[in-house]
Amino acid sequence: MANSKIIDAVRIQTSFLNALEKKLLIWLAERQPKWVTSDMMSYLGVFGAVVIATGYILAAWNINFLWLSSLGFVINWYGDSLDGTLARVRNTQRPIYGYYLDHTLDAINEVIIFIGVGLSGLVHFEIALLALVMYLLMTINVSMNAHLKKEFKLTYAKLGPTEFRIIMIIINTLFALIAPLREFSHSFTLCDKEFTFGALDYIGIVIVIALTLMYITAVRNDIKGYAKIDPMPEQE
């Protein structure tokens, strides 16, 4: 039964760039050499995540390494987005194996990327970890819904993984080019402790709040939906 739900889960993709991205991915998949496999694309996505993290970590010494991180986001998108498309274009889908591998590597990618951001010196490590926790919670919720109601929702508030990558590339570009932005700092006291936040700290807090609100909204709606599907039995 669980296997059937994985196979039959409907992909819900309503992001801003979905239509354009889908056409581009099919075009790219049709032009891949025969020796390129879906697994290779999946592992290329992991390599992209490592490049992203490496760029962020090295940015602590030279801000221009943010360009390397941006390149990593492109590599990560190419591999992570093409693995499933390539299988569908070639009609070589492996729903159970592919589901497991894809989501396992997605979680690894997320951990690598967020830890890299936290080690960049541009944002407090704790804020990066909070963002990671919320992102993983949303990922878990998506996976549970894929099993329980056969819905594989890939977007929230019209934003999906591709839009997230583009936002991060824009942030990288702004920080690499605008010195006052990356040099901005604000000190304040909270509970008798002094904190100094940079611009990316505040951006990170906004991202954490946004992810938290999206997660709470999704869980609340899912609970209401499941309560209707699986109502409380009447007591005799």
Q: What is the pLDDT of residues 213-229, one digit of tens each?
A: 999 999 999 999 999 88
User: What span, in angstroms and rounded, lies between the C-alpha atoms of 164 and 159?
Assistant: 7
Q: What is the mean pLDDT of residues 15-30?
A: 88
pLDDT for 80: 93
Reported for 176-184, long-range contacts at CB under 8 A and 24+ positions apart, including other chains, are 176/63, 176/64, 176/66, 176/67, 182/63, 182/122
Q: Which residues have a Cβ under 8 Å from the Cβ of 90 and sit 6 or more positions away? A: 29
pLDDT for 148: 85
pTM of structure: 0.88
The pLDDT tens digits of the residues spanning 146-195 come to: 888 877 777 776 788 899 999 999 999 999 999 898 888 777 877 778 87
| pLDDT at 203 > cutoff 80 | yes
Lowest mean pLDDT among 25-29, 94-98, 116-120, 169-173: 94-98
Greater model confidence, 189 or 82: 82
* One-letter identity of residue 105: L
The pLDDT tens digits of the residues spanning 48-70 come to: 999 999 999 999 999 999 999 99
Cα dihedral sign for 215, 217, 101, 34? Answer: negative
Burial label, 73 (beta-carbon count in 10 A; 0-12, 13-18, 19+): buried
Q: What is the crossing angle of helices 95-118 and 125-148, to 10°?
A: 170
Q: What is the mean pLDDT of residues 3-28?
A: 74
Enumerate domains of the chain plus CATH numbers: 2-229 (1.20.120.1760)
Percent of the chain residues topping a pLDDT of 90: 63
Q: Please name every residue paired with 10 in a beta bridge, in sequence order, or none if there are none.
A: 151
pLDDT for 1: 36
User: Phi/psi of residue 189, each to 5°?
Assistant: -110, 130
pLDDT for 4: 45
Label residues 187-216 b or e (16+ Cβ within 10 Å = b): eeeeeeeeeebbbbbebbbebbeebbebbe
Residue with tokens 């008798």: 192
